[in-house]
Structure 1
Amino acid sequence: MRTADGFDLAAQAWLPPAPRALVALVHGIAEHGGRYAWLAAQANAQGVGVVTVDLRGHGNSPGERSYVERFDDYLLDVDVLWARARELAQGMPLFLMGHSMGGAIALRWVAQRRQSMAGLILSSAALKIGGDVPRLLIGLAPLLSRWLPHLRGTRFDPAVISRDPAAVAAYVNDPLVSLKAPPARTGAELLAAMEANRAAAAGLDLPVYLFHGDADRLTDPDGSREIHAAWGGSDKTLRIWKGSRHETLNDLDRDAVIAELLDWVRAHVANDAGK
């Protein structure tokens, strides 16, 4: 699928025989859409389809790994994802979901594009920086972005994503996961997007479901709490998972995490059908 600025993005879709709803999913930094096959299998079993793209610079899509010139370039990737999702949905309820940086992208896209949808889902969204990110690096981010935009720092310890050693090993051994630290420009653009998203939340009133692990050291769960508190609409749900790390969908509680997520989706499919 080609973006407005000429990137040919890799895409995947998992559809059950008779889908009742569709989730368009935006993955996180340094990973790819194929990592959500487990979630898609669970969703398909309950009649929910999932479609995703590999963002520019990620997975099977072209571009320097994890690099973006402007954060809003990612919105062009979501434009083609959403267009594909609408084609597949054929009038079914549509949800937009984002994990980590993908959550920041999804929220930014919703605020900018104002598309009608059944709901927004934010998984461990990058709404506030986590405790494992050096504060000096945060302070220097604008300067580094300007003068050394491609500079990469030290990669985080992969163990912070999950308490499950098998999930961590799968992440480390995935050839489509970039184990390099993200470039300075991407980091600075993400920090600016976090501020913009916090400012935008009060003006949004679509249904939203936020979930986060309270042991997440990459993205601060307080970011989800603050967006939930500031959200302009009344249909908002926040779920904090005790002990879970950054990837709640791949942590020890993943079955319960996915079950509650799909319960929320099913309830909002019914709500959407009743409108």
Structure 2
Amino acid sequence: MERAPFYEQIARGPEGGAAYWLTARDGVRIRFGHWPSPPQPRGTVFLLCGRTEYVEKYGPAAADFAARGYAMLAIDWRGQGLADRILPDAPEKGHVGGLQDYQWDLHAVIDAADELGLPQPYFLLGHSMGGAIGLRAIEHQNHRFAAAAFSAPMWGIKAPALLHPFRILLAQLLGDSFLAEAYPPGMNGTTYVYRDSFLTNRLTRDPEMWAWLIEQAAKHPELTLAGPTIHWVAESLLECEALASLPSPDLPCYCGLGAEEKIVHCPAVHDRMNRWPKGRLDLIPGAEHELMMEIPTTRARFYDGCAALFDAAGGLEARDKLTAESA
């Protein structure tokens, strides 16, 4: 495990963050970063970020979890951030061989967390695309997580109403066609924060967070990613369809979803949470897609929901109660 670049000046996380290069079992190089554990840590949150994202974007999340007693790490998945880009001749395109390839990345990070001695138990937090990766991971019987939280998980992809009934057929036909590496209609080679404005963006209502994302892109454009390829969209549709057919894991779960969500397919999230016996769906009024980049009250509500889940799953809720009663 080698040290990798870490842009602390744009991360806004706890002091002392560090990043490392890892090589997944299929030879792809990825990057992950973690921040120092708080005093008497309650465990480590594995933040599985969404498409286009990177480690430094979640420095504030690390600070919020540290304030609640949790260490945190974040991942540059293959094809984004400083990880190996899958299309060397078009590195700005979001591309992957298949959605399940991301499992190799997660396995490498779990091994690295063990090697670094990060605090246990481990907890999963999947945002957007990371929600699909995380759900796939905890469907395996030998996973390492005590509980799972999700932020606007990509358990379904929105398609135009007329095309929705044919989305799987189209994915099968186009995913490996001569159009596979092209952008879908409406996408291009510009990263999202440059392509949209604050007033029309679908990520956050917080102007300071929006300005910070633009600042990160300007200072380190090598971290950014543009639109996905048709192949990425096709593989994502097929993975979401496969996940939808699986039962919910026997694991405590908290899922936050903005009431103004416009990116992931909300009916798929409601359907999954309606059949997750140990799960709770928190529909947050007024919130857009990125709950961890939203206005302060939304961020606090989401982090408190995650921490309550993790505390209970780690047995800390009862332990804190006993400590308070004996004081």
Q: TM-score, normalised by structure 2?
A: 0.75
Instruction: From the superposition, tell whether residues 263 and 51 of structure 1 become closer, same or farther in structure 2 (CA, over 3 Å).
Output: same
CA contact (8 A) 1:132 1:217 kept: no
SS at match of 2:47: strand
Paired positions, count: 271
Counterpart of 2:38 in structure 1 is 16
User: Per the alignment, do residues 256 and 132 of structure 1 end up closer, same or farther by CA in structure 2, a change over 3 Å counting?
Assistant: farther
- Tell me what 1:165 maps to: 207
CA distance in 1, matches of 2:161, 2:58: 25
Change (3 A) 1:151 1:2: same
Q: 1:132 to 1:19 in 2, by over 3 A?
A: farther
* 2:171 corresponds to which of 129, 141, 148: 141
Which residue number corresponds to residue 275 of structure 2?
Answer: 230
Matched residue, 2:18 = none
Query: Do the aligned partners of 1:22 and 1:89 also contact (CA within 8 Å) in 2?
Result: no
Distance (Å, rounded) in 2 between the aligned partners of 1:209 and 1:89: 26
The equivalences for 1:200-219 within 5 A come to 200-202=246-248, 204-219=249-264
Instruction: Single out whichever of 238-247 and 90-99 deviates more from structure 2.
Output: 90-99
- The answer as to whether partners of 1:160 and 1:246 remain within 8 angstroms in 2 is yes
Q: Which amino acid aligns with 1:152?
A: Y
Distance 1:134 1:168 in 2: 33
Deviation string, structure 1 residues 61-93 (Cα, Å, up to 9, x no partner): 111342101111111011112222334456721
Q: Is 2:94–2:225's contact at 8 Å kept on the other side of the alignment? A: no
**Partners of 1:80 and 1:113 in 2: how far apart?**
18
TM-score (norm 1): 0.88
Q: 1:109 aligns with which of 123, 137, 159?
A: 137
Task: Name which of structure 1's ranges 25-34 and 222-231 shifts more when overlaid on structure 2.
Answer: 222-231
State the match for 1:183 in structure 2.
229
1:165-202 Cα offsets, whole Å, 9 max, x none, are 23223334423553521011111111111111111134
Query: Which residue pairs with 1:241 in the alignment?
Result: 284
RMSD across aligned C-alpha pairs, in angstroms? 2.5
Aligned twin of 1:46: 68
* 1:151 and 2:197 aligned: no
Return 5+ residue gaps in structure 1 as ranges: none
Q: 1:196 aligns with which of 237, 242, 252?
A: 242
Specify whether residues 212 and 88 from structure 1 end up closer, same or farther in structure 2 by C-alpha distance, changes over 3 A only.
Answer: farther
Q: Partner amino acid for 1:260?
A: G
Question: Matches of 1:132 and 1:17 in 2, distance apart?
Answer: 49
Q: 1:53 to 1:151 in 2, by over 3 A?
A: same
For residue 120 of structure 2, give the secondary structure of its aligned residue in structure 1: coil
Call closer, same or farther: CA 1:40–1:90 in 2, change over 3 Å: closer
Aligned partners of 2:154 and 2:240 also within 8 Å: yes
The answer (yes or no) to whether the contact 1:163–1:244 under 8 Å persists in 2 is yes
Question: Deviation at 1:98?
Answer: 1.0
**Larger Cα-atom Rg:** 2
Q: Shift of residue 17 of structure 1?
A: 3.8
Alpha-carbon distance between aligned partners in 2 of 1:40 and 1:47, rounded to the nearest angstrom? 10
Task: Structure 2: give runs of 5+ residues left out of the alignment.
Answer: 1-21, 87-92, 320-327
Does structure 1 retain, via aligned residues, the 8 Å contact 2:71–2:119?
Answer: no
CA shift for structure 1 position 133:
9.5
Residue of 52, 59, 63 corresponding to 1:37:
59
For 2:210 and 2:292, how far apart are their aligned partners in 1?
Answer: 12
